[in-house]
Amino acid sequence: MTKTRTSKKTHQVAPTPSATQLRFDPKEVRALIEVARSAKTWKASFSDCLNPDLRKPGATPDVDGYVDPVFVDTSKIGPKLWLVKDEGCYLMANAAHQIRSPEDCITVCYADGFGPNTPQEELRAVLGGVDFVEALDIEAMERAAAEPSLAVVIRISSETIEISSELHAHTIH
């Protein structure tokens, strides 16, 4: 296992005795990194909307410090991957303009065992009841996805997110 990055979280995950571990296919992760890196503009995450350093001049935050994404200077964001929990749990690029499938979908990489048909009760038990988007450090994701035989592993605790790589045992769903 190669530990590559630990960072503070901006959302709450359901309290569990140990960290929740999510595994991703490194080839799919590298494809998303390429989408994010090749973009000229990027979308703002919730945490970006709370960051005063990213606000456009004249932006007025609400009482919680949030500004609408249109008031975020997205040129300061740069490429990232987002860890998303809604209909499943997946990674996606924060690129503002992405190629879409004929079904009008962008490319995502689902965590093993947490695809779009995962029952919401199971997602809530493992990742909490609230949908979230967590921006991840792209350099840490690149390091974790560098070796094709190693899965990208994201461990989420109530306080941190750890990005690493481990022997790949990809589950097909």
DSSP string covering the chain:
-EEEEEEE-SSPPPP-SS-EEEEE-HHHHHHHHHHHHH-SSB---HHHHH-GGGBPTT----TTS---GGGB-GGGT---EEEEEESEEEEEE-BSS----TTS----EEPTT--TTS-HHHHHHHH-SS-EEEEE-HHHHHHHHSSTTEEEEEEE-SSEEEEEEEE--PPP-
Whether residue 89 contacts residue 136, with contact meaning beta carbons closer than 8 Å, is answered with: no
d(CA 143, CA 64) in angstroms, rounded, equals 35
- For residue 90, give both structure tokens: 């997946």
φ and ψ at 38, to 5 degrees? -85, -10
Q: What is the pLDDT of residue 171?
A: 44
Instruction: Check residue 168 and give its pLDDT.
Output: 55
pLDDT tens for the 173 residues of the chain, in order: 333 444 444 444 444 446 789 999 999 999 999 999 999 999 999 999 999 999 999 999 999 999 999 999 999 999 999 999 999 999 999 999 887 766 667 889 999 999 999 999 998 888 888 888 999 999 999 999 998 889 999 998 878 889 988 875 544 33
* Structural tokens at position 158: 């109530």
Q: Token digits for 35? A: 């989408």
What is the structure's pLDDT at 102? 67
- Both tokens assigned to 69: 């994404």
> What pLDDT does residue 64 have?
94
pTM: 0.81
pLDDT in tens, 94-125: 999 887 766 667 889 999 999 999 999 998 88
pLDDT recorded at residue 61? 95
CA distance 67 to 120: 29
